[in-house]
Chain A
Amino acid sequence: MTALLTVEDLWVRFQTRSQIVEAVRGISFSVGRERVGIVGESGSGKSMTGRAILGLVQQPGVVSAKRIDFKGRNLATLRSRDLRAIRGQHISMVMQDPKYSLNPVIKVGNQIAESYRLHHKASRSEAKIKTLEMLKEVQIPDPERVYNTYPHELSGGMGQRVMIAMMLIPNPEILIADEPTSALDVTVQKRILEIMDKLVRDRGMGLIFISHDLNLVSSFCDRILIMYGGRIIETCAAKDLHKTTHPYTRGLLNSLPSLQNPSARLQILNRDPRWKEEPSVNAISENSNV
């Protein structure tokens, strides 16, 4: 499978008054038409990675990379104007809470239509038709009615569907999803994942799924990257996760309470300071055209 996106030696650094904080420390990975899950705890650098790809890291953060190769173009060296053309149209991002990502004073349908018109030359009515089609694709039962609602009138699950519609309407090749279901109820989560699954498969997209939920990622993705302290500490196929031997991943898996395997005491993860010093595992898939 050829890679859509290849990231090599990505660093994200923040200069504070007293020191330099390294959020992402030299990671390399590739994403093809597959689902790659990036898992880690808070502070592991997983969200920063997603933002760095899209150039969304705010000052005083600095992104540097040997290359961020997207279909032959190096995103790391692009001017912001060119990066804006890629953002949204070719690589899109869905974030955790639609409340904070949708404009609260504009009707939802208009926001999606605007997203469409930003990337395609289309009239208002054409955009509206496309929007309604997209709303149907994310399985919103009454697209006409939802078109005219405001974000605060939608439940969490509906809001996230709208978010997905808005991000997928320009037909990007890659979707970055940063904790897209963490704020949702468990039953709603399932439905949203099903929708994402269908859309990604039907459109042949690449998906980067960022989450703290190991089990979720292992059941939804094809390949997993586990991040710790800004580095990729392990990479494996999703189905092999439960055979992992790395002490950190093992520790994470064992510390989860489980319905099927109850225990009186949960296993504590003992953090080995050496994990922070291990070199980052290269997760550029062998099959990709580098």
Chain B
Amino acid sequence: MFEAINLSVWFGTDSDKFQAVNDVSFSIARGESFGLVGESGSGKSTILKAITGLAQDWTGSLNVDGDNLGHKRDRDFYTKVQMVFQDPYASLHPRHTIDRCLSEPLKMRKASNIDARINQSLRDVGLDPSYRFRYPHQLSGGQRQRVAIARALIQDAKFLLLDEPTSALDVSIQAEILNLLNDIKKQRGLTYLLVSHDLAVVAHMCDRIAIMQTGKIVETINKQTLQTATPETDYAATLISASHGFKRDAM
């Protein structure tokens, strides 16, 4: 479904140039869940930006569903690839109702049967259609994130980019959203690229995981290796042990 070859992304020019992603290559099979884990500054979110066209300074090749991506994106692309953002408080327009949020993409595509599709879309993410005319500030964080997921799905995209989708949510809500994402993936046969700093979340959701550090992929592991064998690189081992919590005696 997706392949990145020798992808390098940078910001700024000349003396200000910052290399966010350095020669990264990986591929994702159709129906797979692939995770990108790393700390801040590792470049994981930048890769998403390059795929969606929000970052324009990159070299290498990006291929989605057989099509090579250029620096601009066309309408077609948005029916294949969609993204769920991290902050549910910032990813919905504060002055638009949920109805407007979900109907706008449909109207742009001149789709028919908009009412029914919106209601169904809300039900698909576990929201009662009575929420349709609320504003974002009348919804909780978890509900907003469900709307964000509904928005991503309403275009019938098959490849979803998930940028820390549960980092801003309470743990109990996170569980509901992660279960929802897994259910939807099974029902619709989607492919996920999940970016997160939380190793436990990524391990739960993904089949294969790439660990990034300062713009490079340090190691690619699969789910079993994470739980059983020891990882190959030191950095991966550090991340895994750090995610186990604080150990007083380890000082």
CB contact under 8 A between A219 and B227, given known A186-B197, A212-B171, A269-B172: no
Residue contact A219 to B248, C-beta cutoff 8 Å: yes
Q: Tell me, in angstroms, the Cα distance from A258 to B178 when the chains sit together.
A: 13
Interface residue ranges, B against A (CB under 8 Å): 39-40, 141, 170-172, 174-176, 178-179, 182, 197, 199-201, 203-205, 223, 226-227, 238-240, 242-248, 251
Question: Can you spell out 6 A-B residue pairs with CB atoms less than 8 angstroms apart?
Answer: A194-B251, A216-B246, A252-B171, A255-B171, A256-B175, A257-B201
Residue contact B227 to A260, C-beta cutoff 8 Å: yes
Q: Tell me, in angstroms, the Cα distance from A212 to B39 when the chains sit together.
A: 20
Q: Tell me, in angstroms, the Cα distance from A256 to B172 when the chains sit together.
A: 8
| Other A-B pairs beyond A257-B178, A269-B175, 5, CB < 8 Å | A41-B170, A42-B141, A42-B170, A215-B245, A219-B248
Residue contact A185 to B40, C-beta cutoff 8 Å: yes
Residue contact A216 to B245, C-beta cutoff 8 Å: yes
Q: Tell me, in angstroms, the Cα distance from A268 to B177 when the chains sit together.
A: 10
CB contact under 8 A between A259 and B244, given known A187-B39, A194-B251, A212-B170: yes
B246 contact from A212, A219, A265, Cβ within 8 A: A219
Residue contact A186 to B39, C-beta cutoff 8 Å: yes
Report, nearest first, the 6 A-B pairs whose CB atoms are least far apart: A257-B204, A255-B175, A185-B39, A266-B175, A269-B172, A219-B245
Residue contact A258 to B200, C-beta cutoff 8 Å: yes
Q: Tell me, in angstroms, the Cα distance from A255 to B197 when the chains sit together.
A: 18
Residue contact A187 to B239, C-beta cutoff 8 Å: yes
Q: Tell me, in angstroms, the Cα distance from A109 to B246 when the chains sit together.
A: 29
Q: Tell me, in angstroms, the Cα distance from A262 to B40 when the chains sit together.
A: 25
Closest Cβ neighbor of B243 among chain A residues:
A186
- Cβ of A14 under 8 Å from chain B: no
- Find residues 214-232 in chain A having any chain B CB closer than 8 Å to their own CB: 214-216, 218-220
A50 CB to nearest B CB, Å = 18
Closest Cβ neighbor of B244 among chain A residues:
A259
Which has the most chain A C-beta neighbours within 10 Å: B179, B182, B226? Answer: B179
- Cβ of A251 under 8 Å from chain B: yes
> Which residues in A have their C-beta under 8 angstroms from that of B182?
265
Residue contact A190 to B39, C-beta cutoff 8 Å: no
Q: Tell me, in angstroms, the Cα distance from A262 to B200 when the chains sit together.
A: 9
Residue contact B227 to A197, C-beta cutoff 8 Å: no
